[in-house]
Amino acid sequence: MPVQRLNHAVLYVRDVATSTEFYRSVLGFTPVMQIPGKAVFLQAAGSTNDHDLGLFHLGPQAGPSGAGRTTVGLYHLAWEVDTLAELRRLRDALQAAGALAGASDHGTTKALYARDPDGIEFEVSWLVPADQLSEHEHEHPTIAPLDLDAEVARYGADRLGGVGVSHSVGV
């Protein structure tokens, strides 16, 4: 099964209105279809999908996800951005919303980690262009704190990222 990309994700949330507002105001998703009080389907900016994210309302009685702590389940979703300027903009928006949970330099990717209003974790990352990776970076991935300003100085704010091909070096 040669997967090309994730078409969309669907999440169960406590309050569909609160979650919709978060994904709209912080990440720039646009609601494209609603089932009042039950579900909202959102599209990412620049996407050609009919929707990229579905949110299904459970209500305030829903407990927190135990995934990764007491149950199996999804750890996080990862969305890719085109430039470090966009990653920096999202870092600032996530910080302002109190949602930023961490930032890591994986060598081949530069990643932000955040949590939505229900504590569901997601990642936003920029992929280093394959022609900028050394064989060492590809074969020995790292996890270090992300210094986004240093990465902007190294690659440039507007350089297009690897768009899903960073891991192809040396393969």
pLDDT in tens, 52-100: 999 999 999 999 888 888 999 889 999 999 999 999 999 999 999 999 9
Start and end residues for every CATH 3.30.720.110 domain found in the chain: 75-171
1-59 — its CATH code? 3.10.180.10
Cα–Cα distance for residue pair 132/150, rounded to 1 Å: 15
Q: Does domain 75-171 have CATH number 3.30.1280.10?
A: no
Instruction: Give 93-152 pLDDT, tens digit per residue.
Output: 999 999 999 999 998 899 999 999 999 999 999 999 988 887 656 566 679 999 999 999
The two three-digit tokens of residue 30, written as one number: 């646009």
Sheet containing strand 109-115, edge to edge, reads 77-80, 121-127, 109-115, 100-105, 144-145
Start and end residues for every CATH 3.10.180.10 domain found in the chain: 1-59
